[in-house]
Structures are given as C-alpha cells and as structure tokens.
Amino acid sequence: MDKLKKLWLGLVALVGLISFSSGQIQAANVTNNVGYTVKATLPANQINAKNTFFDLRIHAGQTETLRATIYNQTNRDIKVKTAIHTAWTNANGTIDYTNTTNTYDSSLQYPMSTLTKIQGAQTLTIPANGHQVVHATVRVPQTSFNGVILGGWFFKRVDQKVTGTVKGASNIRNAYSYVIGLKYTLGKLPAPTVKLGSVGAGTFNYHRGIIVNLRNPRAIMIPNLTTQTTITNRQTQQVVKKQTQKNVQLAPNTVYRYPLLTGQTALKAGRYHLHMIVKNSSHRWVLDRDFTISASQAKQANAAIGDHQGLSVWLVLALGALAMLILVLLIWLIIVLIRRHKRQNTAE
C-alpha cells in the first residue's frame, strides 16, 4: 500500500510539473510583446495622408529617399533586420508583403525590391529605449510605365524570438515583424484583367489537387474577388470538383497559385475541363480551359502525398499510453532501488 501511495504521489507530481511548464509557456506567449515599433515618415508626395504606409505619386526618372524610424521599447539593445519585398498573392488569396516568392507574372517590369534599396547595413542595432532612422532610396527609370508598383518595407527582430502584438499598430504585422506598405502610382491606371495560366495536377502542403495559376498581368491591384470553379471530367461529364472562394486579392503582375484540393480522392488520369467565373462588384471574367492529367502526373501527385494525414488521434493516444507506462515502470524501479538500498544500509 505504501508503495502504491508513493507511486501515485510521484505521478501526480509529474503531471503537475508538466501542466505548470505548459502554463508557463502559454503565459510567456501571452505577456511578451514585440519590443519595438516602426513608423514611416510620410513625404510630400503622399497621395493620402491618412494612410500610415507609403502611398506615393511618383514620376519617371524620379529619385527619392524614404525614412522610417525604429523605436526600441525595451531596456536593452536589440537587433532588427530590414528588407524591401515585392508584393504577391499567396495560396490563401491574400496579398503577401512579408515573404518572397518566385511566382511573379512574366509581365512584371519593375519589382519593388529593384526600385527601392536600403541605405547602409540591413541589420541594425537599436539602443535600449532609443530609436534609429532607416533610409531607403527609390530610383525610378525613365519609362512610359503606367500603373501601380506594390511592396513592403519589412522589419524583423533577430536578436531573439518574441511573441504577441503591439496594441494600436496600424501597419501590417505578425508576431515577429512589421511591414510598412509601399505603393507607388505612375501615370494612369490600366484596366484590370484576369487570365488563366497553367492548369494541372499538383500538390500543396502535402495534399493532392488541381493547381490553377490565375494571372494578373497588369500593374493594378484587383480586390475583393470571388472565384467560382467547376472541374468536369470530359469523358464522363461528371463534376469532379466544385469550389467557391471569396475575398481574393490579386497583387499587380502576380500569379495566384490556386489549389483545388481533392482530399482523400486520388487524382486520376483523364481529360478534364475547367470553368471558372472570377468577379467583384465592378468586373466579371469567365475562364475556360481543357486540360489533361497523364497517368504519370497523377501517380506523381498521389505518391508525393503518401496519404499524409499526420498522426491519427488513436496513434497519439497509444503513444501517450506507452509513455505513461514507461514512466510508471521507471518510478517503480526507482522505488525498488531506494528500498533495496535502505535494507542494505539497515543490514550493515
């Protein structure tokens, strides 16, 4: 009975320690903050002074210096890395300013990262409770370009990982970084258009599906789009996939790699037809495309997945039970060894 009591108390203490540790981690994630803020100094050619990002009217051949201030809100020095990114539309259908990609449209003439360059070092040390001004130079070539060039001025603290958000910050941000938007408007805005790129079998995040490349070949943002997509087997006339997505934002001169996932259904070789309606309150496009999935393409996409679904609930429970059993055995062994040691000492 005494042995069982000690074993039970040991398990309770172990579970309490694990719970306390998890609580500490959660508390740290909640209470910590980014530790710094970034503010843009808006120039005279700002189109809308109410915007806190750089919304600039610029001209061919223009050179301009942009300024942003990094404020350190901690009582020790921190390091912040900065970079210029070109905006694009990610697989969620949102415009991404914080990451980079290789999926820009072939129509992209002037990437933001080419027109705008950071002056000096890209990793800066900001003194405790101090600030530092960062400069970036914009150089616009002599061109007849008309439209919008879109990107972001990216800032990331690199001396340590931090979590949380800064209350009231008006720029795009996540737990670790800030982005000040960069939007340059030259000449007249072109009329928007949406076109189909390649369509075929593929994978996205370990899931099989049909990947549709939706192109925005012009230098203009196309907001608030709804896509209605139907994929039909041309041999059987059966609908194999139907999907609606709302609030898609197309960045200028970008390719939206839109995944239509098939879940547990394996891709099959065959001839298919894509019918897509893309629309917002001002425009509507109807896009059609016949495409073929070969046996090798279907096999490759299906094999790449390996029906990866992560660990099942039952497997997790089984592993947890096994771990608990091992802990019980270890505790029992420790108790046996302690008692044996005491008996030996008593006998001596």
Q: Is the pLDDT of residue 262 over 70?
A: yes
For 177-221, write each residue's pLDDT tens digit: 899 999 999 999 999 999 999 999 988 888 899 999 999 999 999
Please tell me the class of the 195-305 domain: mainly beta
21-25, 52-56, 142-146: range with lowest mean pLDDT:
21-25
Confidence of residue 330 (pLDDT cuts 50, 70, 90): confident
Can you give the pLDDT at residue 334?
A: 87
CATH number assigned to the domain with residue range 30-186, chosen from the 4 options 3.40.50.300, 3.40.50.150, 1.10.10.10, 2.60.40.10: 2.60.40.10
Average pLDDT for the chain: 83
pLDDT of residue 185: 97
Q: Are both 30-186 and 195-305 of the same fold?
A: yes
- pTM of the predicted model, to two decimals? 0.73
Residue ranges per domain, the chain?
Answer: 30-186, 195-305, 312-348
Contacts of 254 (CB under 8 A, 6+ apart): 87, 88, 89, 103, 104, 105, 108, 215, 216
Q: What is the mean pLDDT of residues 315-343?
A: 79
